[in-house]
Chains A and B, each alone.
Chain A
Amino acid sequence: MHYVLHYGQITSYLPYFIEGALLSLELSVLAFSAGLILAFALAILRNDGGPIASRLVRGYVAFFTNTPQLVQIYVIFFGLPDLGILFSPFAAVLIGMTLNAAAYLTEIVRAGLASVHQQELDAAETLGMGRLQTLRYVILPHVFQVSMPPLSNQYILMTLGTSMAAVFGVEELTGRAMNVNSTTFRSIEVFTTIAGLYVIITFIATILLAVFGRYAFRARVRVL
C-alpha cells in the first residue's frame, strides 16, 4: 500500500488528452444533432403518421431504449460485416450513438410537442401563419423551451457515452487514456486525470447549454 502518485509523468500527455477530449465532443455533438433531427421526424411520425408508422416508431423506441448502446454498436461494427457491410470504428460508433440517441430524444421531443396547446395552434392559424411559419415561430420555440432541461441532460449523458468508442479503437479521451496507461502504467493518475477532464467538459457543456437555452428559448435550466 505504499504507492506514490506521480502526476508529473502525466502532465506531458495533457495536450494529447485534450485533443482526445475534442474528438469526444465532436462525436457527441454530431450524434446529438443527427439524433435530434431523426427524433423530430420519428416523433411527428409517431403522432400523425397513421397506426402502422406509429407502431413502428414505438417498437423502435422500445428496442433501442431497452438494449445497451455498447451491444448495438457491437452489432453494427462486428455483426454487419457478416453481411458484407463494413464501417470504420468512428462511423460505427457515430451511427450507433445516433440511432440510440434518436430513441431517447424521440420521447423527449414527443413530450415537448404534447405540451403545445391547441389554442396556440389556433391562434397561429388565425394570424394567417402557414404551416412552416407555425412550426418555426410557435411549435419549435415552445418545444425547446419545455424540453431544454431533459435535452441538456441527455446531451451530458451522451458525452459520457462517447467513452464507449474506446472499446472500438476510436482514440477519443478514454481511448487515449488506455494508450497512455499501457505505456506509462500510471493507471490511477491517468484515469483520475481524464475523469477530471470529463467533469470539466460536462460542466462547461451544462453551463453553455443553460445560457443558450436561457437566451434562445427562455428556458430555465438548473446548473447545480
Chain B
Amino acid sequence: MGIDILGQLPRLFSSYNLLLLGEAALTTLLLSAVGCVVGLVFGTLLSLARLARSWLVLPLKIFAIVYVEIFRRVPFLVTLLLFFFGAQVLGFDLSPLAIGIISTSVISTAFVAEIIRAGLVAVRPSQLEAASVMNFSAWQTLWLVRWPQAWPLILPPTFAYLVLFIKDTALASQIGVLELTQAGNILNTKGFSSLLVYSTVLVLYFVVSYPLARLGAHLESRLGAPRHSRSRGPLR
C-alpha cells in the first residue's frame, strides 16, 4: 500500500493543486494577520478601559473585563459556529471568509487585550508617579512614559500569539473557509490518500509557522526584559 501512496505524489503536486495549496496558505496567513491587527487595535482600547481608574469609564471597564474573560474561555470552534449559524438565522449574507475574519478578530481582541494589559501593568509605578509629579496629563503619561516602556514587553508575546493563532485558524475549515486544512479536505475528496494529503498540509503549516516562531523567539531575546516572563501567558 505504501507504493500506491508514493505513486500519487507527482499527481498531487500538479501545478493546479500547488496553486490551490499556495492560495490556501495565503488565506490562512490573512486570517491570522487580520485577526491580530484588529486584536491589537481593539485590544489596546479594552486594556486601557480595564486599567482606567476613573469612575466615568466604569461601565466600559466592566465591559472590558467581561469581554476578555468570556472570549478567552470559549473555544474558537464554538465562536465560529455561533457567528456562522447566527449570521444565517439573523439574515446577514456573509461569506465564510468574512465570518472567519470576524471570529478571529473577536477572539484575538480578547487574548491580545490581556497581553497588552500585562505589559502596561509591568511598567513600574514609580515611573507613573514621576510623570504625575512632573504634571504630565493622563495622555502624556500613557504616550510618553508608559507605552515606550511597555511595548518591548508586549510585542514578543503578541507575535507568539499570532504564530499560535495560525494553527487555530485550521478550525475555520469547519465552516468552509478555503484555507490550508480545507484545501487538504478538497484534495482528499478528489481521491488522494488522506495520509499523503494531510501530511503535506502539516508540512505546509510547519513551513509557514516555524520561521515566524523563530523570528518571534529572536524578537523575544532582543526586546524582552527578563521580568516580562511574568507576563507571557495569555491566561493565568
Enumerate chain A interface residues (CB-CB to B < 8 A). Answer: 1, 3, 62-63, 65-72, 74-75, 78-84, 149-150, 152-153, 156-157, 160-164, 166-167, 174, 177-178, 181, 185, 187-188, 191-192, 194-195, 198-199, 202-203, 206, 221-222, 224
B73, CB-defined interface residue at 8 Å: yes
Tell me how many residue pairs across A and B have CB atoms closer than 8 Å.
151
Report the bound CA distance from A154 to B80 in whole Å: 21
A66-B210, A68-B167, A167-B174 given; A78·B198 CB < 8 A:
yes
B140, CB-defined interface residue at 8 Å: no
When the two chains form their complex, are residues A156 and B73 in contact, meaning their CB atoms are under 8 A apart?
A: yes
When the two chains form their complex, are residues A70 and B236 in contact, meaning their CB atoms are under 8 A apart?
A: no
Question: Closest Cβ of chain B: how far from A1's Cβ, in Å?
Answer: 6
Among B78, B79, B181, find the residue whose CB has the most chain A CB atoms closer than 10 A: B78
B interface residues, tally (CB under 8 Å): 53
A68-B170, A78-B198 given; A224·B69 CB < 8 A:
yes
Q: Which chain B residue has the least Cβ–Cβ distance from A165?
A: B77
The 8 closest A-B pairs by CB, nearest first: A187-B85, A79-B195, A163-B75, A68-B170, A191-B82, A68-B167, A78-B194, A66-B209
Residues of A within 8 A of B202 (CB): 67, 71-72, 75
When the two chains form their complex, are residues B233 and A174 in contact, meaning their CB atoms are under 8 A apart?
A: no
When the two chains form their complex, are residues A181 and B75 in contact, meaning their CB atoms are under 8 A apart?
A: no
Residues of B within 8 A of A194 (CB): 78
A66-B206, A70-B181, A82-B193 given; A164·B171 CB < 8 A:
yes
Residues of B within 8 A of A222 (CB): 236
Residues of A within 8 A of B81 (CB): 174, 177-178, 181, 187, 191
B9, CB-defined interface residue at 8 Å: no
Report the bound CA distance from A3 to B87 in whole Å: 11
In the complex, which residues 167-220 of chain B have their Cβ closer than 8 Å to any Cβ of chain A?
167-171, 173-174, 180-181, 184, 188, 193-199, 201-202, 205-206, 209-210, 213
When the two chains form their complex, are residues B73 and A71 in contact, meaning their CB atoms are under 8 A apart?
A: no
Among A177, A195, A199, find the residue whose CB has the most chain B CB atoms closer than 10 A: A195
When the two chains form their complex, are residues B1 and A83 in contact, meaning their CB atoms are under 8 A apart?
A: yes
Report the bound CA distance from A17 to B194 in whole Å: 32
When the two chains form their complex, are residues A3 and B181 in contact, meaning their CB atoms are under 8 A apart?
A: no
